[in-house]
Amino acid sequence: MAQFIGEVIVRAKITTATHDIATQITKDLAADVAAEVDLIGLVHEVKPGDVYPDKGEKARFADTQSFDYAQVEGALCVFEHIIESRDEEPYKELLEGFGWSAMRMVAVQAGDICDRAFKHMESLGYEFTGAYDWEFVPDVCRHLDWNALFNDNQYNNGRYDPNIDELVNVLITAEMATVEPGKRLFHKEEMTADDYIKACRAEAERQWGYGDLVSDHPEHITAAMEAGQTPTEITYELGKQFDLTPRDAYLG
């Protein structure tokens, strides 16, 4: 009888231990799945120009797998401009050295820069009287560092992601200094409330990667518009106030 009771106790201990092991395995698997889900979410949130939070380095634009309509349009416009200007520098030398295939890939990255510059100018209240494809895009292209762009896009040698605010300031300054007021590519007019909100959304997306920042805080937007703040200023202040992470500097 004592031997029987001993065997029962041993079997009970084995069963309990097996249950504990199975429970721990289940927990480990659940943690692995959760980690994988978090990783998938992270990958989908990374956009061109962003920083990978776990590596602390700039994301390479050439590795981008999907593009929105505006980026595609920008790339096509850049490539049209290059075809039209293929006998002019710097395109002639670049085409001779790298070929059309490489130029197509670089045009995609240049098109993204043009798209972001255009949206930033809209957010500042500028309206365009000239054509985006035949005037604005060529103007932006003339201010790009094409050697740095090729080094990044084709050789993974450094990151070329010009500061859009500085680029736009150069465009505006050059236009105002060299072109008569009535013939300029763009001009600035007082925005309506709808235009102001639209510009704020564009700025919130550019600065923080979060356009809904505007709809989350409509009272701040209204107050800023009445106070004469620019969309750039108010969206920057809101992002700082609510401790958002800048779109292009997750790690500073």
pLDDT tens readout for residues 61-105: 989 989 999 999 999 999 999 999 999 999 999 999 999 999 999
Mean pLDDT computed over 106-128? 93
Is residue 49 predicted with pLDDT exceeding 70?
A: no
Length of the chain: 252
Among 171, 189, 207, the domain boundary falls at 189
- Are 132 and 22 in a shared domain? no
- Are 126 and 201 in a shared domain? no
Is residue 183 predicted with pLDDT exceeding 90?
A: no
- Are 204 and 182 in a shared domain? no
Q: Is residue 251 part of a domain?
A: no
- Are 212 and 162 in a shared domain? no
Among 172, 189, 206, the domain boundary falls at 189
- Are 176 and 91 in a shared domain? yes
List, as one string, the DSSP characters of 172-230.
Answer: HHHHHHHS-GGG-SEEE-PPPHHHHHHHHHHHHHHHHS-TTHHHH-HHHHHHHHHHT--
Q: For residue 228, what pLDDT is reported? A: 80
- Are 135 and 242 in a shared domain? no
- Are 92 and 131 in a shared domain? yes
Local confidence band at 145 (pLDDT 50, 70, 90 cut-offs) = very high
The pLDDT tens digits of the residues spanning 25-39 come to 444 434 443 443 333
Q: By the 8 A CB rule, do 210 and 244 touch? A: yes
Domains in the chain, number: 3
Looking at residue 120, what DSSP letter applies?
H
Q: Which span out of 105-114, 127-136, 208-217, 236-245 was modeled with the highest average pLDDT? A: 105-114
Residue numbers of the domain that contains 141: 65-189
- Are 74 and 181 in a shared domain? yes
Closest C-alpha among 66, 68, 59, 91 to residue 78: 91
pTM score > 0.75 for this model? no
Q: Is residue 58 part of a domain?
A: no
